[in-house]
Structure 1
Amino acid sequence: MDRKLKRWEVALLCGVLAALLWSAWAGQEQAQLAGQVIRLHVLANSDSQADQELKLAVRDRVLERAEGLYPQDATLEQAREVLEDNLDELAAAGQQVVDEAGRDYPVTARLEKCWFPTKEYENFALPAGEYTALRVVIGEGEGQNWWCVAFPPLCLGAATESVEEATAAGLFTEDQAGLMTRENEGYVLKFKSLELLGQLRGLFTGN
């Protein structure tokens, strides 16, 4: 004889179904957003205060140099090509900062796929997930990381664009802009839940 589901069981099933549907939607939105940006991933030599301060100085110099390389009104593909063609120059910009600081750490730069946690910046946030990134490694690269956005130039003092300006230029859709900004109430909490779901998926798949 079939047993009727209790109210709490129905509510639980509905909650699980809603979570799965939201996870699928959020994952798709993250993947689409990841296709519109190039992140910046800077790894410090160590966690010493001097190396962490050096990391920030390298970050600023590399962002500034990268922005100077983009053609006016650059598309994502143009920016990607420029970065790919000028990796040595970007590494040299970071190396100059290290040399000026009297350190002998080597600096390398390359474009690659990297996993990023949820990150909240001053005026926007990005969900956890895999992104194409300009990865800059200082020395041993064993210190805390810095995650930002190399294109569009949205980060820190080197930034010349806002999310709104990038959207107006066609680099983001209105939905993507809403996903990144505080106009979408609770967006960081939702991003954190997406990050947790990804971690749980990794536990079950062994990745």
Structure 2
Amino acid sequence: MGKDREHMKTTVKRKLKVWEIALLVGLAIFLISGALALQTQEQLSDKVVRLHVLANSDSEEDQALKLLVRDAILERAEDLLSKSGDREEAEGLLRGRLLEFEQVAAAVIAQAGYDYPVRVELEDTQFPTKEYDGFTLPAGEYLALRVLIGEAKGQNWWCVVFPPLCTTASVEVPASALEAGLSEEEVRLITEENTGYVLKFKAVEWWQQAKQMWSEWT
């Protein structure tokens, strides 16, 4: 009986070690995959411009107004950026037209019967992971054309204004992204439709949080 118990203990210990090794290997793969995906995300953020429209409030009326403003801004931005060859050129065109975008938004707001002030700015903004029709962008800091309506305290709307992925059919997203200068690796990162990309994006979020905590400590 004593030998049997010792044998059982040895077997259990061996099984635990196998599980521990498997968990450590899995964690290592997760972290390495996340580090590589984070590097790709940072390269990706240098090639896109997000659109960020913030409603005055969460009231039904203010949310409907947000969408009207969004449509007008998208139309003008995509027309302006239609011939942009890269993010740098797109950024230059947008920075030179911020007042014009404010005027476009203000006209929509006034036509809808509101007198909210509106501010349009172009700045680096932190975004969470966001899934769209045909692609997903990992969490991180991106240059964003931000439209702030009134108090800008309502639910907001995000998408990508360059490349023009907001209005691109899902099947055309890869071609549109490649044409705007994204690499095949970056396109694969945002268009993969399997559990692999979910784990990669979770790892990216973890690395982003770790970087933020480290910067706060130092």
| TM-score normalised by structure 1 residue count | 0.86
Q: CA deviation at 1:206?
A: 5.0
Aligned length: 202
Report what 1:137 is aligned to: 148
Runs of 4+ in structure 1 displaced over 6 angstroms? Answer: none
Question: 2:183 is matched by which residue type in structure 1?
Answer: T
Q: Does 1:44 align with 2:55?
A: yes
Q: Does 1:179 align with 2:189?
A: yes
Q: Any gaps of 5 or more consecutive residues in structure 2?
A: 1-13
Report what 1:169 is aligned to: 179
Report what 1:198 is aligned to: 208
Question: 1:78 is matched by which residue type in structure 2?
Answer: E
Q: Name the CA distance, whole Å, in 1 between partners of 2:198 and 2:65.
A: 29
Question: Which of 8-17 and 88-97 deviates more?
Answer: 8-17
Report what 1:125 is aligned to: 136
Could you say what secondary structure the match of 2:143 adopts?
Answer: strand
Q: Name the CA distance, whole Å, in 2 between partners of 1:73 and 1:191.
A: 29
Report what 1:19 is aligned to: 30
Bigger radius of gyration? 2
* C-alpha distance 154-67 of structure 1, shift in aligned 2 (>3 A): same
Question: 1:178 is matched by which residue type in structure 2?
Answer: R
Q: Does 1:111 align with 2:122?
A: yes
Could you say what secondary structure the match of 1:6 adopts?
Answer: helix
* C-alpha distance 16-187 of structure 1, shift in aligned 2 (>3 A): closer
After superposition, the C-alpha distances for 1:179-199 in whole angstroms (9 at most, x for unaligned) are 111356642453244324534
Q: CA deviation at 1:15?
A: 2.1
Q: Name the CA distance, whole Å, in 1 between partners of 2:83 and 2:216.
A: 44
Q: Name the CA distance, whole Å, in 1 between partners of 2:65 and 2:180.
A: 35
* C-alpha distance 22-140 of structure 1, shift in aligned 2 (>3 A): same
Q: Name the CA distance, whole Å, in 1 between partners of 2:86 and 2:150.
A: 32
Report what 1:63 is aligned to: 74
Q: CA deviation at 1:95?
A: 1.1
Which one has a larger percent helix, Structure 1 or Structure 2? 2
Larger RCO: 1 or 2 (CA < 8 Å, sep 6+): 2
C-alpha contact (below 8 Å) 1:124/1:180 kept by paired residues: yes
Q: What fraction of aligned residue pairs are identical, expressed as a percent?
A: 50
Question: 1:163 is matched by which residue type in structure 2?
Answer: V
